[in-house]
Amino acid sequence: MEQIDIYHDGKEVSRVVVGDGLNLDSGLGDCLKPYSHVFVVVDRQVVTKSRAVYDLVQEFIIKAVPVKAVDVSETVKTMESVMDICSWLLDKGADRDALVLAVGGGITTDMSGFAATIYKRGVRFAYIPTTLLAQVDAAIGGKTGVNFEKYKNILGVIRQPEFTYLCPQVLESLPAREFLSGAAEMLKTFIISDGGMYDKAVAYLKAYSQDRTATLERKEVELKELITAAAAVKAGVVSRDQFEKGERRVLNLGHTFAHAIETLSQKEERMPVLNLNGKDAGMTHGEAVAVGMVMAARLADELEKSGQGLVNRIAGMFRKPEDGLAEKLVADLAACGLPSESPYSIKEMAQVMRKDKKAEGGKVHFVLPKAIGSVEVVDLTVDEVVKLLK
């Protein structure tokens, strides 16, 4: 069992535990030992799809641990669902010594974590993420929250879980498209700060795209190594900047573009041109992040080429990106089975980006890749981005 600690002001505030197995006799049981009043919130779909999660839930029920199965989707990621979890905790007599244990993907962990932060002015919580996306990103770092009005994750707080328990074996039941969606966030993490692991991740994902079952069976150790490395990068960034005043912004690589694509593809019935299987309308979050990373690499190129004008305004901050970086990303993403082209024009995307909750004083912090393993944050207005990418 491997443990990665997360710090704030020199004190350990959370930990990521990478374990084998998802039963109470495994490392998970050790993680739960200090907590006498556990309340489990689990995604109902995951219970039906994953044998390991089903068995874990049975173990909890036998031990008389209260379990609440919730229906999860982006549209029910709301205050109503959070209040429903709080009502259940109240009903089950959860007290200040409760531990809310969320089992599911990022929506389940975000909502349950948020419910725990407000219930009785805050009780402890922990996560067992069951998607790759949640294992490498959403369930690490303490961002909790829900959607409100038209905005994703606009209500919430940053508060750290007691622990996040990662079990790579649970990913075996994930559909390929969902796995690859999480893989895009994993690649993002390595583009930010670990070139060596990026190459390993691309090699693993190429094999996965060609033969999912054989890769999952034969390359179990590699997957665990990749997940652990991605979790370590994220834990490091969060330890240095828990409240996103600076460095943590790098984790938003590709996300301003991705949010615009997601918003447009949900709003219109228009089908993005490059989804993976040609059937589902709309892009998954990870697919949109993949496209967003390529757009960010193109933006870095154009910014550098723009010579005097813009580069002067951000003088001293912007270094030349590696030649051919955007093209390399496109080729790698294609080999992994991920898209790289936006189905929307930059002008359409700009309309949404202007309303992005992360825009400050008309400017957006764009994270621009300079090389695999290195990024730079540059503040640009949406109009400047439109000019550069048109």
Contact set with ligand GLY (CB under 6 A): 137, 141, 143, 248, 251
Name the catalytic one among 255, 262, 287, 370.
Answer: 255
The nearer residue to ligand GLY, 137 or 301, going by C-beta atoms, is 137
State the nearest-atom distance from the C-beta of 251 to ligand GLY, in Å: 4
Catalytic, 11? Answer no
Report in angstroms the alpha-carbon separations of 330 from 97, 194, 209, 251, 340.
49, 18, 16, 20, 6
Name the catalytic one among 15, 224, 234, 298.
Answer: 234
Name the catalytic one among 124, 162, 188, 244.
Answer: 244
Name the catalytic one among 15, 77, 124, 143.
Answer: 143
Contact 339, 274 (CB under 8 A): yes
Distance CA 295, CA 288 (A): 10
Distance CA 164, CA 16 (A): 5
Distance CA 163, CA 157 (A): 17
Report in angstroms the alpha-carbon separations of 258 from 174, 220, 288, 388.
22, 30, 5, 18
Catalytic, 120? Answer no
The nearer residue to ligand GLY, 124 or 143, going by C-beta atoms, is 143
The DSSP string of 45-112 is HHHHH-HHHHHHHHHHHHTT--EEEE---GGG-SHHHHHHHHHHHHHTT--TTEEEEEEESHHHHHHH
Catalytic, 319? Answer no
The nearer residue to ligand GLY, 77 or 143, going by C-beta atoms, is 143
Catalytic, 248? Answer yes
Q: Give residue number: closest CB to ligand GLY.
A: 251
The nearer residue to ligand GLY, 27 or 145, going by C-beta atoms, is 145
Catalytic, 252? Answer yes
Catalytic, 8? Answer no
> For 135, which DSSP code?
I
State the nearest-atom distance from the C-beta of 36 to ligand GLY, in Å: 30
Catalytic, 312? Answer no
Catalytic residues: 121, 143, 185, 234, 244, 248, 252, 255, 259, 285
